[in-house]
Amino acid sequence: MSADILTTRGREVMAEQLVGLTFLFALSRGDAAWDALWEDANPPSPPLSSTGVLDLVGYARATVQGFLIPDEAGLILSDTGTKYSVSETRTRWARVRLSVPAGTYPDETIREIGLFSSPTIDAGVPQGQTIIAPADVSDPGDLNRLVWTRPQFLSAGTSIARNFILRV
């Protein structure tokens, strides 16, 4: 018999590898049939075997990648209510931020956001360009995280900002 753990340092190493990846977000219309289910005690959730999004609107590169530390006074809030602060040293909490400027996808409804790693983006797309047209992505990469969310209608003045916190 033996005891086995993944140490804190081992988790930090894994988070460091995650932070070093190239990430791409896929924004999706999802399925309008999900809308009515949000009032249920058990809202819809994606299957663990998911490999892509349902109805792609467009892509966005991650705007921030780094490390976080839980902090009750922190300004970064997770979907579960946990607060974090930015850490200058590696931790087991990796942060990948989605930022979509207002007016990017007017008159669209977003129900699904996929976080992909190691995408293949056309070489002609400038490195600093955040919003990527679907035609410029030959392979979105590996789906790491998939979020089904209450429908968010995007008007010409609506932006999207969301932190994805990957806890290792």
CA separation for the pair 76, 78 (Å, rounded): 7
pLDDT at res. 133: 97
**Which tens digit of pLDDT belongs to each residue from 10-63?**
999 999 999 999 999 999 999 999 998 888 777 788 999 999 999 999 999 999
Beta-carbon contacts of residue 53 (< 8 Å; ≥ 6 apart) = 26, 27, 28, 30, 112, 113, 114, 146
Fold of 8-167: baseplate structural protein gp8, domain 1 (2.60.340)
Dihedral sign of CA atoms 7, 143, 79, 98 in order: positive
Kindly report the pTM of this predicted structure: 0.93
Mean predicted confidence (pLDDT) in 147-159:
95
CA separation for the pair 93, 103 (Å, rounded): 31
Would the pLDDT of 86 be above 90? Answer: yes
**Which tens digit of pLDDT belongs to each residue from 93-110?**
999 999 999 999 999 999
Burial status of residue 23 (CB atoms within 10 A of its CB: 0-12, 13-18, 19 or more): buried
Task: List the one residue out of 89, 98, 88, 72 whose CA is nearest residue 165.
Answer: 98
**Domain extent listing, the chain:** 8-167
Mean predicted confidence (pLDDT) in 111-136:
97
CA separation for the pair 77, 87 (Å, rounded): 15
